[in-house]
C-alpha cells in the first residue's frame, strides 16, 4: 500500500524544531509590544535599553531552568522542587562567608556553589539510591532547606557592607552599538550555558545521561551505573542553584533567607521554562538552546506586561501569561506529534 506523502515544508520545520518555534514566538512577542508602544498603550518605552536591563532577572531563572534540564533529562520522573530553597540556603552560606566571616569573594563564591552541590547530592542520594519519588524527595528537602535557611540567622538577612558591595557584580557592561548588558550575563550565565552544553553534547557523560533518561533498563544492560548517573544530575542541579545563589545575593545586595522561595518561589518558573524549552517530562529529551530561548521569551514577555499596566499591575498577570504560554506550547506539542510524529 502506498503511504501518503508527508509535508516537508517550512511549517513542519518550524513546528518540529523547538528552538526555531520559540524564536518565532519571541519575535511575535517583541513585535506585539512594539505595536502597543507605537499606539501609546505602554507606560514606558519598550526599547533595547529596557530589554537589556530585563536580562538581569533572567539570569537566576535560566540557571535554575538548566538545573531542571539536567534532572528531568535523567528520567524516572526526575524533577527538583528544592532549587529555590537551595538558592536561599546557599545564599545564606555565601552571606556568612563574605559578610560575617570575612572570606575573599572568590573562595566564598566557590564555597556557596559547593554548598549547593552538597544539597543537590542529598536529593540525588534520596532519589537514585533510596529510590524515593523525586517529587516527594525534593518537596521534603525544599521544606528542610528553607527551614535551615530561616533559622541560620534567626530569619534576618545578612546585609553588611561587604555583601552590599557585591552589587557591583550586577553593573551594566557597555558594548559598541548595544545598550548596557548586566555583567552577570557574561560572568555567570554564559559560562554555565557553555559548560552545560559541552557536558550534554560533547562528553561521554552527556550520552550516558540521555541514555539513562530514555530507557534505564536498557542502560543497565549496557553496563551503565544508572544510580550514579542520576545522582550526578542532581549534584549538577545543586551546583547551578549555588551559582544562582551567588547571583541573587549580588542582585539584592543582601543574603536573604527567603531569596529563592518568597512569593511563588523560583522552582516552578524554572520548571515551566524547562518544559517550555522542550525538555520532555518523561526524560531523555531536552537541549540547552531550547531552555535559553524559552527563558528569554518568558523574561521579555514579563517585561512587556509590566509596561502594559499602570501601578505595577502587570506583575499580577505574569503568571497568567506564563500559564497560557505553557498550555499553548503543550497543545502545540500534541498537535505536532499527531501530525508529524516528532519534535526535537
For 224-240, write each residue's pLDDT tens digit: 999 999 999 999 999 99
Q: Phi/psi of residue 15, each to 5°?
A: -75, -30
Q: What pLDDT sits at residue 6?
A: 52
Q: What pLDDT sits at residue 1?
A: 43
Alpha carbons 330 and 327: distance in angstroms, whole number: 5
pTM value?
A: 0.92
Q: What pLDDT sits at residue 337?
A: 66
Cell of 123: 536529593
Alpha carbons 53 and 183: distance in angstroms, whole number: 10
**CA quadruple 186, 188, 190, 195: dihedral, nearest 10:** 150
Q: Phi/psi of residue 269, each to 5°?
A: -60, -35
Q: What pLDDT sits at residue 344?
A: 62
- Taking alpha carbons only, the member of 300, 292, 52, 89 closest to residue 192 is 292
Q: What pLDDT sits at residue 324?
A: 84
Name the stretches of the chain with pLDDT < 70.
1-8, 11-12, 14-15, 333, 337, 340-344
pLDDT in tens, 267-292: 988 998 998 898 888 888 899 999 99
Q: What pLDDT sits at residue 2?
A: 46
Amino acid at each position: 500500500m502506498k503511504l501518503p506523502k508527508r509535508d516537508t515544508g517550512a511549517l513542519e520545520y518550524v513546528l518540529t524544531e523547538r528552538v526555531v518555534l520559540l524564536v518565532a514566538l519571541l519575535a511575535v512577542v517583541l513585535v506585539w509590544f512594539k505595536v502597543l508602544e507605537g499606539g501609546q498603550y505602554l507606560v514606558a518605552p519598550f526599547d533595547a535599553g529596557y530589554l537589556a536591563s530585563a536580562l538581569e532577572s533572567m539570569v537566576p531563572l535560566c540557571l535554575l531552568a538548566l538545573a531542571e534540564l539536567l534532572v528531568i533529562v535523567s528520567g524516572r520522573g526526575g524533577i527538583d522542587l528544592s532549587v529555590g530553597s537551595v538558592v536561599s540556603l546557599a545564599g545564606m552560606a555565601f552571606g556568612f562567608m563574605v559578610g560575617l566571616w570575612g572570606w575573599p569573594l572568590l573562595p566564598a563564591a566557590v564555597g556557596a556553589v559547593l554548598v549547593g552541590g552538597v544539597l543537590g547530592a542529598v536529593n540525588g542520594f534520596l532519589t537514585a539510591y533510596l529510590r524515593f519519588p523525586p517529587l516527594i524527595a525534593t518537596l521534603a528537602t525544599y521544606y528542610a532547606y528553607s527551614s535551615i535557611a530561616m533559622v541560620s540567622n534567626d530569619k534576618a538577612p545578612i546585609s553588611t557592607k561587604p555583601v552590599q558591595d557585591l552589587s557591583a557584580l550586577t553593573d551594566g557592561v557597555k558594548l559598541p552599538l548595544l545598550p548596557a548588558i548586566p555583567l552577570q550575563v557574561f560572568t555567570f550565565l554564559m559560562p554555565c550555558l557553555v559548560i552545560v552544553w559541552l557536558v550534554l553534547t560533547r562528553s561521554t557523560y552527556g550520552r550516558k545521561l540521555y541514555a539513562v533518561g530514555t530507557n534505564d533498563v536498557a542502560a543497565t544492560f549496557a553496563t551503565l551505573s544508572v544510580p550514579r548517573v542520576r545522582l550526578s544530575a542532581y549534584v549538577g542541579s545543586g551546583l547551578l542553584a549555588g551559582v544562582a545563589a551567588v547571583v541573587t545575593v549580588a542582585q539584592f545586595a543582601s543574603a536573604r533567607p527567603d531569596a529563592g522561595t518568597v512569593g511563588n518561589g523560583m522552582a516552578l518558573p524554572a520548571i515551566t521554562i524547562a518544559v517550555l524549552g522542550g525538555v520532555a517530562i518523561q526524560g531523555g529529551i531536552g537541549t540547552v538552546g531550547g531552555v535559553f530561548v524559552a527563558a528569554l521569551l518568558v523574561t521579555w514577555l514579563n517585561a512587556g506586561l509590566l509596561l502594559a499596566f499602570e501601578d505595577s499591575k502587570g506583575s499580577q498577570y505574569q503568571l497568567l501569561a506564563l500559564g497560557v504560554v505553557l498550555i499553548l506550547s503543550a497543545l502545540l506539542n500534541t498537535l505536532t506529534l499527531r501530525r508529524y510524529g516528532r519534535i526535537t
